[in-house]
C-alpha cells in the first residue's frame, strides 16, 4: 500500500465508549436531580436512555447527529415538567462535558505520537466527541463529525470529504476503525484502504456478513499498526491538508 495519510475512527478505536457514556448518563442524572428534580424523578438513567432511543427512532432525519438527539430528548423530558430551554442547555452542557472525559486505550497515544510524525492524521467519526475538549486536537489536522457534516459512515460522502481536505485520492488514504460495517466496509466502498482494529477474538468472517469485502490489514492494537506500516513515507509523497 502507498499510504500518504491516515484517518481514524474515535469511539472504541482510541478509547472505549461504553464507560464514557455510562458516566455521562450518571452525571446528567445527578445534574437533573440537583436542578430539575421533577424531571429527574420521571426520568432516571434507564428511563432517560429509553426516551433518547425513542426520540432517535421518531426522528430519522437526525440519525447522524447524536447531539441533536440528546438535546431533543432533554427538551421532551424537561419542558413537560415545567423547565425551560435554559435548563435544557445547561443539562446538555453537563452531559457533554462528561462525554468528553475519556480514558484512552493504552496503545492509543504512543501510536498517535509515532504516526503523526509520519503521516497527516484526520478523524472521521459518527460520534460527537470534541477533540479540543478532550485535548487530542493537536494530533489531527481536522475532525469530521457526522453531526456537523450531515452524513454518517458508512456513506462514501464523509470519507470522500476527508480525502478532499487532505488533497489526496481515496486509495492514498488509510482508514482505521473498529466497526466492520461503518469503518472497513464503508472505507472500502469509498475507495480507501482500511484497517480493522479488533481487540477481541472474533474473525472477520464471524464479525461481518460482507464476505466479499475484507480489510487490507487487521490489527489487535495500534502498536501493531505502527509496526505494520514501517518507516515514514518519502518526504515528497507527504500530503499538505487543505
Helix (H) or strand (E) holding 6: strand 5-8
Q: Contact 38/81 with Cβ under 8 angstroms?
A: yes
9 is catalytic: yes
Burial of 7 (0-12, 13-18, 19+ CB in 10 A): buried
**Look-up of cell digits 492494537:** 221
Catalytic residue among 9, 65, 179, 183: 9
User: What is residue 81's three-state secondary structure?
Assistant: coil
Residue 117 sits at the vertex; the CA angle it makes with 111 and 118, to the nearest 5 degrees, is 90
User: What is residue 140's three-state secondary structure?
Assistant: coil
What are residue 206's phi and psi, to 5 degrees?
A: -75, -30
N- to C-terminal Cα separation, the chain: 23
**Look-up of cell digits 481514524:** 8
Residues annotated as catalytic are 9
Amino acid at each position: 500500500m502507498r499510504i500518504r495519510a491516515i484517518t481514524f475512527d474515535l469511539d472504541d478505536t482510541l478509547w472505549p465508549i461504553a464507560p464514557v457514556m455510562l458516566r455521562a448518563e450518571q452525571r446528567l442524572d445527578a445534574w437533573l436531580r440537583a436542578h430539575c428534580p421533577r424531571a429527574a424523578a420521571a426520568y432516571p438513567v434507564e428511563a432517560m436512555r429509553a426516551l433518547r432511543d425513542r426520540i432517535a427512532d421518531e426522528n430519522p432525519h437526525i440519525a447522524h447527529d447524536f447531539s441533536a438527539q440528546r438535546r431533543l430528548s432533554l427538551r421532551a423530558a424537561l419542558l413537560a415538567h415545567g423547565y425551560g430551554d435554559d435548563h435544557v442547555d445547561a443539562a446538555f452542557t453537563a452531559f457533554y462535558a462528561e462525554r468528553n472525559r475519556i480514558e484512552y486505550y493504552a496503545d492509543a497515544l504512543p501510536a498517535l505520537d509515532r504516526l503523526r510524525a509520519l503521516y497527516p492524521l484526520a478523524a472521521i467519526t459518527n460520534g460527537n466527541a470534541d477533540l479540543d475538549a478532550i485535548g487530542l486536537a493537536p494530533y489531527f489536522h481536522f475532525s469530521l463529525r457526522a453531526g456537523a457534516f450531515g452524513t454518517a459512515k458508512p456513506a462514501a460522502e464523509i470519507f470522500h470529504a476527508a480525502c478532499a481536505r487532505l488533497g489526496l485520492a481515496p486509495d492514498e488514504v488509510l482508514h482505521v476503525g473498529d466497526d466492520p460495517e461503518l469503518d472497513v466496509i464503508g472505507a472500502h466502498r469509498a475507495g480507501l484502504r482500511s484497517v480493522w482494529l479488533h481487540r477481541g477474538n472474533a474473525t472477520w468472517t464471524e464479525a461481518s456478513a460482507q464476505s466479499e469485502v475484507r480489510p487490507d490489514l487487521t490489527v489487535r492494537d495500534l502498536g501493531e499498526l505502527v509496526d505494520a506500516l514501517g518507516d515514514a513515507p518519502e518526504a515528497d509523497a507527504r500530503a499538505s491538508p487543505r
